[in-house]
Homo-oligomer: A and B are copies of this chain.
Amino acid sequence: MATIKDVAKLAGVALSTASYALSGDSKVSPKTRAKVLEAARSLNYRKNGIAMDLKRSRTNTIALILTDLSGPYYSELIRSIQDVALAHGHDLIACSSMGERDSTAIKFLREKRVDGAVVLAHNIADDILLESAGERFPIIVMDRELTGDHLVNVLVDGEQGGYRATQYLIEAGHRSIAYISGPLNSYDNQQRYKGFQRAMHESGLSEKPKWRLSGGFVREGGYSATKMMIMQGELPTAVFYGNDEMAVGGMKAFEDHGISIPDEVSVIGFDDIELAGYANPPLTTVRQPKSEAGSLAGHLLFQMLDGESVDEQFKLGIELVERKSVRKREH
């Protein structure tokens, strides 16, 4: 691989002159520049980005840390972050946090291979984030409540979302409502559940312990949790699934048992994934402002990179998407 040294030699100029010519600095004469460019072309010279980053102590790229590159992701969220990065002339790369303590994500965070990061990966420990963030390395955390030096928090108000969803069910006349939980240690799940509890409590309703099932936020889990509920004999009139994936699985379970939605059981989800509108019946759910959240995260990161100081936490509201999986009941 040809280096700038080779180019300089072939062009018969000094190393620095070659560098200036290549980067288009105006102080090099057109004639010299042409000579250098020609030499570069003939050697098929490509600058080494790593050397440049090292010298500049800046990579001009930020990382998006995801649990798993293979998704499924909030593409709107990613797109909005990407747009902001591009607008600031920075590159965005995605890395996965799969693989525990030596995941790609952790390597990029600790070894400062980028200028900053947006984290969307619950499996990276708080302390790693806290110690990685620094003066020259801002981090935005989006999937949990965590703030610190050079580490700011952009959240969607899951508690409010859980509350709204539950309230919607209650307003539709439902009194016996089950919440199918995601992973118990998931921040998102906890928030949604908290909102559920608050709404139930305010209306003087209580949840049946036997309906406290968990589906791990995955479709299969929603399916089996629902199956278990069905086998237990007594059904609620409505079930609030901690996310849409589980709701889709749950609806399948009801269908398999000939239980009709929303006639016999109403269902509400959370997230508004693409599938939600295509489910049968289309799933009523809670939509998160993903683009706004991503955009905000991006902008904050660049403000921090520019040395501006920003608030340490932002919480965005949600919105209910009414479709056809909830039925109004008379009493």
Task: Report B-chain residues with C-beta under 8 Å of the C-beta of A113.
Answer: 49-50
A99 touches B78 (CB 8 A): no
B50 touches A112 (CB 8 A): yes
Task: Report B-chain residues with C-beta under 8 Å of the C-beta of A96.
Answer: 82, 92
What is the predominant secondary structure among interface residues of chain A facing chain B? Answer: mixed
Given contacts A70-B75, A91-B95, contact A49 B111 (CB under 8 A): yes
Task: Report B-chain residues with C-beta under 8 Å of the C-beta of A280.
Answer: 278, 280
CA distance A160 to B248 in the complex (A): 34
Task: Report B-chain residues with C-beta under 8 Å of the C-beta of A230.
Answer: none
Query: Interface with B: A53-61, A167-175, A262-270, A303-311, which one?
Result: A53-61
A194 at the interface (CB under 8 A from B): no
Task: Report B-chain residues with C-beta under 8 Å of the C-beta of A111.
Answer: 46-50, 52
A258 at the interface (CB under 8 A from B): no
Task: Report B-chain residues with C-beta under 8 Å of the C-beta of A73.
Answer: 70-71
Task: Report B-chain residues with C-beta under 8 Å of the C-beta of A95.
Answer: 91-94
A253 at the interface (CB under 8 A from B): no
Q: Which of A260-283 contact B (CB under 8 A)?
A: 274-275, 278-280
Chain B's closest residue to A279 (CB) is: B278
Task: Report B-chain residues with C-beta under 8 Å of the C-beta of A47.
Answer: 110-111
Interface size class of A (residues with CB under 8 A): 35 or more
Candidates B71, B78, B131; contact of A75 at CB < 8 Å = B71
Candidates B79, B91, B110; contact of A46 at CB < 8 Å = B110
A183 at the interface (CB under 8 A from B): no
List 20 additional A-B contacts (Cβ < 8 Å) besides A49-B107, A71-B75, A93-B93: A46-B111, A46-B112, A46-B132, A48-B54, A49-B108, A49-B113, A54-B54, A68-B82, A69-B79, A69-B92, A70-B79, A71-B78, A82-B96, A86-B98, A86-B99, A92-B96, A93-B94, A93-B108, A94-B94, A278-B280
Q: Can you list 23 A-B contacts with CB-CB less than 8 angstroms, sorted by A residue number?
A: A1-B112, A1-B136, A46-B110, A48-B112, A49-B107, A49-B108, A49-B110, A52-B111, A68-B79, A69-B82, A70-B76, A72-B75, A91-B95, A91-B104, A91-B107, A93-B95, A93-B108, A94-B94, A248-B278, A274-B275, A275-B275, A278-B279, A278-B280
> Closest 8 interchain pairs by CB?
A49-B111, A91-B104, A70-B79, A70-B75, A94-B94, A70-B78, A49-B113, A93-B93
